[in-house]
């Protein structure tokens, strides 16, 4: 029984679930969940996403700015984003 627990513990340690901090998440592009807020932004139904800390605003920002610019330009959509400070930046 100890062997099974150790094997399970080793498997869990090896899992990469990304980072809880969007700016540091290496899996954000490939493992993102396209929520209704994502769809609303993409379809230009909203211009502002309010939310509390940890609700995914930075993840949405990073998806649109880092991963979708070519797609958005091809659809003649423009993303203007400013005033966002990368996590840990003090400038």
For the chain, list residues with pLDDT below 70: 1-3, 78-91
Q: What is the pLDDT of residue 79?
A: 66
Dump strand ranges (E) for the chain.
none
Q: What is the pLDDT of residue 84?
A: 55
Distance, in Å, from the CA atom of 86 to the CA atom of 81, rounded to the nearest integer, reads 13
Q: How far is CA 23 from CA 58, 59, 77, 82, in A?
A: 7, 7, 23, 15
Q: Is residue 81 within 8 Å of 72, Cβ to Cβ? A: no
Distance, in Å, from the CA atom of 85 to the CA atom of 23, rounded to the nearest integer, reads 10
Tokens of 81: 């984003």
Q: Is residue 40 within 8 Å of 60, Cβ to Cβ? A: no
Q: What is the pLDDT of residue 85?
A: 59
Q: What is the pLDDT of residue 69?
A: 80
């Amino acid at each position: 029984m100890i062997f099974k627990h150790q094997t399970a513990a080793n498997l869990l340690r090896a899992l990469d679930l990304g980072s809880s901090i969007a700016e540091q998440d290496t899996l954000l592009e490939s493992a993102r969940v396209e929520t209704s807020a994502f769809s609303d932004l993409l379809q230009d139904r909203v211009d502002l996403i309010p939310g509390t800390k940890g609700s995914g605003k930075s993840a949405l920002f990073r998806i649109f700015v880092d991963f979708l610019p070519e797609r958005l330009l091809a659809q003649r959509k423009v993303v203007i984003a400013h005033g966002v400070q990368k996590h840990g930046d003090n400038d």
